[in-house]
Amino acid sequence: MKKWWLQTKENMESIHTQVSINSDKGDETFEIEFSKDSCVSDVKNVIGIKQPHLSYPLRVIFSGIELEDSIELKELELSESSVLHVLQRGPSKPSDIHQFQGNRQTGAVGLNIIALKERPRYYVHCKICDSVQPGKLRVRCFKCKKGTFLLSREPNAWEDVLVTGRLEGTCQTKDCDNTRTEFYFKCANHATPSEENVVVLNCIKTNIDETQCITCAEISNPILVFQCDKSHVMCLDCFKTYAVTSLDERSFIHSQNIGYTLQCPAGCEGSVIIDVHHFRILGDEQYEKYKRFGAEEYVMKANGLLSPTPGCGAGLLPEEGISDIICSKVAGGCGLRFCKNCLQSSHEGECDSSLQSDRLKSSHYPKRPISQEDRATVDMLNREQTENLTKHCPNNKCKVLIHKLDGCMHMICSRCKLDWCWVCEKPWDIYCQSDHWFG
């Protein structure tokens, strides 16, 4: 890649970025260095000198906006991975877009350019950084994927950005007649495009108003803003704690349209997190746990069950009235054939009630996959204590392993939410409460 330099004053801080020239000879990309006080007109002048075959006037497009000559490049927050698209000749295709005139313009502002004391930003979760990072919003043609695209209007809502084709415009690339817009995000920390490694987090925002966290009352930045009427705020550390604790307690909400999610900790209506990508900020281990719990929750809500084979955990949705179940290897299962009602090996006739009443002592009782936390706790106890203090949930569709250290006999399964009696191993009722509530 060729490198050009704009003339800079001695000791003046400079910025590097890329310039892509779209001409009759094809596309050419150059790296350019400029001082922070350089303007768009300076870019055009250097290109005109270095590329004298180009016809004037030149046009510069950035993030779907055509830039006016007087714009200072520092207003654009350019980085080494940013690309200024340069076209020769005047508008060859109709477009209703106005030129962006920088902070002097009182109307709509250009993308990523807002004159405030604390600049609001987009935030993304970057797989490369493995953390929440500032993001950059970019625009390109949906068809040819080039940035030489002019928007018919600027986005004014998240739906404009997240729904492909909601905004239209005109692609200025020769022989491309597409009018569909495609927005994408990139991590601001990387010199090369990385949109395949990032997901935008639209609930993470800059704390411009210095709002306190609803949990710890500290002021931090960035923050997560719940979509409730009061726009309650949590710092990211408290949100991680809230989410991990909710996972352990199985207190996530299952929404038919959204999936496994959380609402505002204040219990506000309509405050659930719609984009579940926000749970990526919990880290890889917890995010995998979140996805597994979410899949289990979906299966339970659909009257399904999980494979009893240790380490399998496949969700199964058998047809009504069928008790002979096969965990199909074709679908990624373990191949086990078992009875839906007792979770024993497949059999004819009635289920063996002795196996169900003495679940833990029976060698025929299928071993359930348990979490690392459960396994570590059980390993700390001797075999006799395990038999007395560990039981399975009596719900045949659940049967998760439960360890009881103290407390009353009224149990609530963390997975299926069944209220049951530790002594009777059946649903909790008034008899249990009256006769042996405390053992």
pLDDT single digits (tens) 312-371:
767 788 888 788 888 888 777 788 888 888 878 888 888 876 555 444 333 333 344 445
CB 138 within 8 A of CB 104: no
Distance of CA 134 to the CA centre of its chain: 14
Contacts of 297 (CB under 8 A, 6+ apart): 250, 252, 254, 260
> Which pLDDT score is estimated for 114?
37
Phi and psi of 237, rounded to 5°? -65, -45
> Greater confidence, 200 or 368?
200
Section 245-267 average pLDDT: 87
CB 58 within 8 A of CB 67: no
- Name the nearest CA neighbour of 133 among 185, 189, 80: 189
Section 423-429 average pLDDT: 87
Q: DSSP class of residue 120?
A: -
> Greater confidence, 113 or 234?
234
What distance in Å separates the CA atoms of residue 271 and residue 264, rounded to the nearest whole number? 5
Which helix (H) or strand (E) covers residue 199, if one does? strand 198-200
Section 73-77 average pLDDT: 79
> Which pLDDT score is estimated for 205?
92
What distance in Å separates the CA atoms of residue 37 and residue 54, rounded to the nearest whole number? 25
> Which pLDDT score is estimated for 304?
80
Question: Is pLDDT of 113 > 60?
Answer: no
Question: Is pLDDT of 97 > 80?
Answer: no
> Which pLDDT score is estimated for 96?
45
> Which pLDDT score is estimated for 242?
95
String of DSSP letters for 387-421: HHHEEE-S-TTT--EEE--SS-SEEE-TTT--EEE
Considering only 46-55, 158-167, 255-264, 403-412, which range has the smallest mean pLDDT? 46-55
- How confident is the prediction for the chain on average, in pLDDT? 77
Question: Is pLDDT of 131 > 80?
Answer: yes
Question: Is pLDDT of 392 > 60?
Answer: yes
Section 92-112 average pLDDT: 42
Largest pairwise CA distance in the chain: 96
Q: Is the dihedral of CA 350, 353, 355, 356 positive or negative?
A: positive
Question: Is pLDDT of 236 > 80?
Answer: yes
String of DSSP letters for 311-372: TT--EE-PPTT--EEE--TTTT----EEETTT-SB--SSS--HHHHHTTTT-TTSPPPP--H
Catalytic residues: 408
Most confident of 18-32, 211-225, 287-301: 211-225
> Which pLDDT score is estimated for 195?
67
Cα angle 108, 157, 100; round to 5: 25
**Which tokens in the block code for residue 122?**
């987009």
> Which pLDDT score is estimated for 115?
38
Has this prediction a pTM greater than 0.85? no
Residue holding tokens 């399964």? 413
> Which pLDDT score is estimated for 194?
61
Cα angle 364, 370, 373; round to 5: 140
- Name the nearest CA neighbour of 299 among 388, 365, 398: 398
- Name the nearest CA neighbour of 348 among 358, 337, 334: 337
